[in-house]
Structure 1
Amino acid sequence: MPRTCRHRLWSLSRIARFTSHAVRRTVPLVFSFLLVSTASSGFAQNPPTPEAPARQGSIEKSRDRRGRLLYKPGELLVRFKKGTTQEQIESLHRAQGNKNVHKNERLRLHRVKLKEGVTEEEAIKHYAASPLVELVERHALRYPNKIPNDPYVADQWALQSISLPKAWDFAQECPEVVIAVVDTGVDYLHPDLSENIWTNTVEQNGTPGVDDDGNGFIDDLYGWDFADGDAYPLDVYGHGTHVAGIIGARGNNLEGVTGVCWTAKLMVLKVQADGAEEMDDLAVINALQYAAGHGARIINCSFGGEAFSQIESDAFAELQTAGILTVCAAGNSARNIDTQGLENYPASYTFSNIMAVAASNQTNSLASFSNYGPLSVDIMAPGVSIKSAMPSTYGIKDGTSMSAAFVSGTAGLILSKNPQMNCGTVKSAIMSTAEPVPSADGKIGSEGKINALAALCSTNTVTTDLTFDHQISLPDAILAFQILAGLAQPVCPPTHAPGLDVNGDRRIGIEEALYLLQVIAGSR
């Protein structure tokens, strides 16, 4: 018999063929999990026969992996058996002081509001004990797939291009990952950015005009302006604000655009003086040192120049030693920066912690202006007609500066799911899962474009960790049987997370489900 998902139940003999003696001891669990897969956690269900009273189920956890409510508080859904009269139903509700607030006659289904003080568990026992009830369960909540409600999200073509909406289904926030934006400054008062700006809490809680943390910078609340030498790294050009918006504009807040990270800690390090057209290297070096000393895990460098600097190179070497991922724009001169004399620094430095990023367009091709080089440039990301924040407003820009920001944001999502991961592993996750692009062949190290979903899922390395919470537990087993029953999908497709797939058939099947039962039973 072919192994297909259309089968809902398996015989004991078939299960035995796939399992060891240790697994066969857990076979009764298989059937209870299969029952759970047909309804939400915390339910009671039996066949619709007058003789069989509804059985009660256990009350499971109340929130999902993202902290959202799994069930509507104080409510149950109750399905009555055929032939049950309205008088009988109302009498059962009144016995516990509950109230029917909606009913579906065809399905014999009642939405029941519980009396104040009555818990869902108590009510489930009450209804499950009645021979009138066919099924009772908590009132499960569903949420739309994570497409944010920001009004300009429809203009952000790049989000779909790198599979961010699918990644957002399980990772959309980077609240503890500090990402330094070394640039022209940032409009940290922007309504789409202000909540996602890193704050120096020592200075915030200190005395104005005093260097409370003793770091040599007075009142460096959000970072520092290393070009003008003050504590107000506001952006007057728009470049840094645009970059910051791509990385971490507040998502799902009914405001403007959404960043890769819906919540973030953006450290603002300004290195271009007001009225200047260039960035002094010393300002850049000082900014890098500040970022390293104040907890940055990622530094975005959307700038470049042709001249090699040993002092700057040494500063980037220190970042490598510190294990800080540094994402650099490849440059916008349409040249091969592998060629001696055509380099673009810092993208052309050869440190392992640097990711150099080229620009792709709406057709998944290398942008006409983008620099490239298979030895120097690691990956492509969208960089044409990118909408993001601008000082007090929004606007569209082109450039590898924008491309670098998409990679920085994706790295932030990876670190938010894997806080202990080092920068080399983050870089490898992004590089190894690049989506192949013909125009990148021979021009880009990964020969492709970033895929945020694939990069995130590749870090899901615990075998059969279907819920992506870095452990094997009951929810994984429940989800496995729901998948087998065609009622759910894994958080990460096995094609993107090979560790989920026990037998190498690129799907979640009975072998994976039974492997989970072995682990839970302690036989693995």
Structure 2
Amino acid sequence: MKSKNFFVVFVVVLALAVLSCGAWAVQEPEYAEGEAIVVIRGASPLICGVRSLTEENMRSTAASAATRSGGSVIQLFSPVEETPSAATEARSARAAAGGRLTVAHLRAAEGESTEEFVARLKKDPDVVSAMPNYIVRCQAAKIPNDPLWPRQWGPAAIKAPEVWRHGTGTAETVVAVIDSGVIYDHPDLKDNMFVFSKELADKMCAESGGIISGDFAGSHGAWYHSKIHYGYDSKSDPYQAVPIGPAPTIDGKISDIDSGVLETMSRIGDVTGHGTHVAGIIGAVGNNGTGVSGLNWKVRILPVNVFSYNIMYRTQVETSDIIRGIDFILAAKRAGANIRAVNMSLGMWASPLEMEGSAYDLKIKEMSDADILVCIAAGNDREDIDAPKNVSFKGMRPYPACFKYDNTLTVGALKEENGGLLPDTSYTNYSTSGKWVDIFAPGTGVLSTCRTTELLSEVFDASGYLSTFGTSMAAPHVAGAAALLFSFDQSKSAGEVKKMLLDGADGKTAKEGYSAYGALDLNGAWEKGFGGTPVTPVSPDVDTSGDILSVLAELPADISQLTEIFSEDQLVGTEEGLYLDFDIVGRAVSGLGGREIEDISLFPVFRLSDGAMTDGRLCAAAFELDGTDFREGGSREDIAVCKIKPDGTMLEYQWAAGENEYVNGRYTILDEAGNIFHGRFDGVKKYTVVLFIADNGDFDLDNRAGVIVDPTAIATFKKYEKENSGGGCSAAGVGVSLLAALIFAIPAVLRRKG
């Protein structure tokens, strides 16, 4: 099963004008003020026994509706058929006689708002539907408006924009960053910083058994560091925990780090800029017109600074302070902070004999056991962890990278080169066996937030943004990806999200000889976790007395089998089958007008082949789906079954209520007992969709007799609250014959079924 997020613009086609876009993104609805597109019921004169609408009759009908609502007619569109099965209960009786509906573009009276005008129209019993004249602007993808976005190659490389079409994060998800701190009032980070409430802070301290102490209410996190003494008897004295913020940060001086003045130390924010860079990758505010965009446009960053000052090496981190920081994270988690991931872009080489079973080891395990996904940098020593060449590292491994638990992930670094991705072996550690490094992510030339002045390192720039490299930058790509996945479903465990990330990875990049799974693919991870349930071809089981041939569908796995119909760039190969490119599907379903699409289930391209098939022979193909593939509690009128063509157009299958309607281009649904489905879909039940396709007919993409090829998608419409007698307009009933003027963008989930 595979799935991919997709933002769909669906269109009720304009007369003489068609909007066609390759992909779209959600926007706030905009519309022509004081205007409405209206579908109106009116008397239809009988011509040769058939109800018809002349232009004069339509204009009269539109003028009457406009007058009743105090408006005027701007223009008319082609009339549409009113299909009783698509009508609301309130108007079914009036539609029973059949007829055609007037479609008009109306203007409100001077001074009346669009909302008032539409509301007034909907009260008219002859108005079937009334909607604003929406305006849509096309975009190439779901991308932020941050000015430095074009210089950020990492999010695009891991396919974050595809997932952003689903959502861009939530403030409910907390990511802890064990690092050098964070400039918490950075303009691109301040709105995504975690803040301890007094209740949470007090509970955390009270329930820690005295381990956590301090006044953390209003702060963003904690700084655990030690005062370093030098000489023959060198030692360190741990400072008490320093709350990070909330007072505005200061540039600070080196002497402030060991000043012992709590108020001063709490305002330094970040002693090197490294942690701020990491935080920006995870969660710089996106689409705010400022700087860069994090993988989560909304998230909460909880900084845990563990850096101390060493006069010889400028910065150092003591294991004791890391352990104190971990205790702080665990206490906050137990007290109720929704910490889903931790980033650790730090490390050292040490003997496994010392590390395994150590307090450091057990604390990493404790975070893993607390359902926290721990993302760890592999290190920048360009060593194969399985067999390091540097004699200094013989018999050693990098830690915490080599602490391996259920919910830990070790991350190597990728570079972008000649349009592709490669491990940056000029510095990244890796693992030829795949035992120690799980996955690779962008790490070279990564642009993110930083300090604006120097303090203890070179991770600063007056602009507040800097490009740098390292597995330190790769790990937060994974932590940020995890946070984004958690945002879609907080009930997911750390283990489930880890599995999504690993199973969705690109195994063609940075796997063989480098890692266990390859390169981070955020969209692949999303597909693994949120892609619905498999579709299973089954033998059609329908009662027929006619010449209908039942054929078990095949799911081709090799693109070469379909190259006469599709070009290679139109198909996406997966373990489950071959799927049409999502941009093609998006253009195709734009032909479904009148209702917002909530979900699109895309079948693998299937093939029917049987020796008894002849030109024009009607065939039946069937597929078993879970009830979850339809909207729970919805009816068949809440779905549309479509045949997608590679040119981005589609044909809609029409409902067949019985054997006498089993003809080309029809479909039916059977319940578990094999009866034609009526009523409401139940998420725990199975349903069989049966498609009727004539060999070499218009629903068959293959131009040869004896073979039928068909990619199918099921669109599920959003649920509407029942309106007044004006009702709504069903895409399934109106279809593409409605030549009205409504165009608007909506978010929809596009799933590959397989």
**TM-score, length of structure 2 as denominator length:** 0.51
Map 1:158-307 to 2 at 5 A. 158-202=154-198, 215-219=212-216, 221-227=219-225, 229-232=241-244, 234-273=269-308, 276-295=314-333, 296-307=339-350
Q: Alpha carbons of 1:76 and 1:458: their partners in 2 closer, same or farther (altered >3 Å)?
A: farther
Q: Quick one: which amino acid aligns to residue 398 of structure 1?
A: F
Q: Which whole-Å CA distance do the structure 1 matches of 2:291 and 2:668 have between them?
A: 43
- Check whether the contact 2:630–2:681 (CA below 8 A) recurs between aligned residues: no
- How far the C-alpha of 1:103 sits from its partner, in A, is 5.5
Q: Alpha carbons of 1:455 and 1:471: their partners in 2 closer, same or farther (altered >3 Å)?
A: farther
- How far the C-alpha of 1:254 sits from its partner, in A, is 0.3
Q: Quick one: which amino acid aligns to residue 270 of structure 1?
A: N
**2:424 match:** 367
Q: Quick one: which amino acid aligns to residue 348 of structure 1?
A: C
State the identity as a percent: 25
**1:355 match:** 409
- How far the C-alpha of 1:463 sits from its partner, in A, is 3.0
Q: Which whole-Å CA distance do the structure 1 matches of 2:666 and 2:330 have between them?
A: 48
Q: Which whole-Å CA distance do the structure 1 matches of 2:196 and 2:630 have between them?
A: 34
**2:496 match:** 425
**2:697 match:** none
Q: Quick one: which amino acid aligns to residue 470 of structure 2?
A: G
Paired residue secondary structure (2:307): coil
Paired residue secondary structure (2:483): helix
Paired residue secondary structure (1:179): strand
- Check whether the contact 2:69–2:117 (CA below 8 A) recurs between aligned residues: no
Q: Which whole-Å CA distance do the structure 1 matches of 2:37 and 2:645 have between them?
A: 22
**2:631 match:** 472
The structure whose Rg is larger is: 2
Q: Which whole-Å CA distance do the structure 2 matches of 1:386 and 1:478 have between them?
A: 49
Greater shift, 273-282 or 393-402, is seen at 273-282
- How far the C-alpha of 1:264 sits from its partner, in A, is 0.5
- Check whether the contact 1:185–1:225 (CA below 8 A) recurs between aligned residues: yes
Greater shift, 243-252 or 409-418, is seen at 409-418
Equivalent residue for 2:68, pick from 95, 110, 127? 95
Q: Which whole-Å CA distance do the structure 1 matches of 2:635 and 2:159 have between them?
A: 24
- Check whether the contact 1:103–1:109 (CA below 8 A) recurs between aligned residues: yes
**1:9 match:** none
- How far the C-alpha of 1:278 sits from its partner, in A, is 1.4
Paired residue secondary structure (1:264): strand
Q: Which whole-Å CA distance do the structure 2 matches of 1:243 and 1:99 have between them?
A: 58
Q: Alpha carbons of 1:156 and 1:99: their partners in 2 closer, same or farther (altered >3 Å)?
A: farther
**1:481 match:** 640
- Check whether the contact 2:146–2:290 (CA below 8 A) recurs between aligned residues: yes
Greater shift, 336-345 or 450-459, is seen at 336-345
**1:17 match:** none
Q: Given the alignment of the two structures, is residue 345 of structure 1 paired with residue 384 of structure 2, yes or no? A: no
Equivalent residue for 1:324, pick from 360, 366, 372? 372
**2:55 match:** 83
Q: Alpha carbons of 1:99 and 1:236: their partners in 2 closer, same or farther (altered >3 Å)?
A: farther
- Check whether the contact 1:38–1:482 (CA below 8 A) recurs between aligned residues: no
- How far the C-alpha of 1:137 sits from its partner, in A, is 4.5
Q: Which whole-Å CA distance do the structure 2 matches of 1:338 and 1:378 have between them?
A: 13
Q: Which whole-Å CA distance do the structure 1 matches of 2:26 and 2:36 have between them?
A: 23
Paired residue secondary structure (2:360): helix
- How far the C-alpha of 1:119 sits from its partner, in A, is 7.2
Q: Given the alignment of the two structures, is residue 436 of structure 1 paired with residue 507 of structure 2, yes or no? A: yes
Q: Which whole-Å CA distance do the structure 2 matches of 1:303 and 1:519 have between them?
A: 58
Q: Given the alignment of the two structures, is residue 387 of structure 1 paired with residue 447 of structure 2, yes or no? A: yes
Q: Alpha carbons of 1:104 and 1:370: their partners in 2 closer, same or farther (altered >3 Å)?
A: farther
- How far the C-alpha of 1:111 sits from its partner, in A, is 5.5
- Check whether the contact 1:156–1:386 (CA below 8 A) recurs between aligned residues: yes
Q: Quick one: which amino acid aligns to residue 316 of structure 2?
A: E
Equivalent residue for 2:520, pick from 450, 467, 470? 450
Q: Which whole-Å CA distance do the structure 2 matches of 1:201 and 1:305 have between them?
A: 35
**1:21 match:** none
Higher relative contact order (CA 8 A, sep 6+): 2
Q: Quick one: which amino acid aligns to residue 105 of structure 2?
A: H
- Check whether the contact 2:504–2:527 (CA below 8 A) recurs between aligned residues: no
Q: Which whole-Å CA distance do the structure 2 matches of 1:285 and 1:476 have between them?
A: 56
- Check whether the contact 1:336–1:342 (CA below 8 A) recurs between aligned residues: no
Q: Alpha carbons of 1:328 and 1:511: their partners in 2 closer, same or farther (altered >3 Å)?
A: farther
Q: Alpha carbons of 1:70 and 1:271: their partners in 2 closer, same or farther (altered >3 Å)?
A: same
- How far the C-alpha of 1:460 sits from its partner, in A, is 1.4
Paired residue secondary structure (2:176): strand
Q: Alpha carbons of 1:513 and 1:366: their partners in 2 closer, same or farther (altered >3 Å)?
A: farther
**TM-score, length of structure 1 as denominator length:** 0.72
Q: Which whole-Å CA distance do the structure 1 matches of 2:344 and 2:373 have between them?
A: 11
- How far the C-alpha of 1:174 sits from its partner, in A, is 2.9
Paired residue secondary structure (2:277): helix
Q: Which whole-Å CA distance do the structure 1 matches of 2:295 and 2:643 have between them?
A: 32
Map 1:79-158 to 2 at 5 A. 83-84=55-56, 89-98=62-71, 110=105, 112-113=107-108, 115=112, 118=116, 120=118, 123-124=121-122, 126=124, 129=126, 137=131, 139=133, 142=136, 144=139, 145-158=141-154
Q: Alpha carbons of 1:250 and 1:514: their partners in 2 closer, same or farther (altered >3 Å)?
A: farther
- How far the C-alpha of 1:370 sits from its partner, in A, is 0.8
Q: Alpha carbons of 1:376 and 1:481: their partners in 2 closer, same or farther (altered >3 Å)?
A: same
- How far the C-alpha of 1:411 sits from its partner, in A, is 0.5
Paired residue secondary structure (1:244): helix
Q: Quick one: which amino acid aligns to residue 231 of structure 1?
A: P
**1:494 match:** none
How large is the RMSD of aligned CA atoms in angstroms? 4.2
The C-alpha deviation readout for 1:122-166, integer Å capped at 9, x for no partner, is 62463x827xx9x85454565744210000000001111111111
Q: Alpha carbons of 1:353 and 1:417: their partners in 2 closer, same or farther (altered >3 Å)?
A: same
The C-alpha deviation readout for 1:379-419, integer Å capped at 9, x for no partner, is 01001110011124101010111111110011011111121
Unaligned runs of 5+ in 1: 1-36, 46-64, 490-508
Q: Quick one: which amino acid aligns to residue 110 of structure 1?
A: H
Unaligned runs of 5+ in 2: 1-9, 15-24, 41-52, 80-102, 226-238, 245-265, 334-338, 388-393, 453-463, 535-597, 602-627, 649-664, 687-754
- How far the C-alpha of 1:437 sits from its partner, in A, is 3.0
Q: Alpha carbons of 1:438 and 1:179: their partners in 2 closer, same or farther (altered >3 Å)?
A: closer
Greater helix proportion: 1
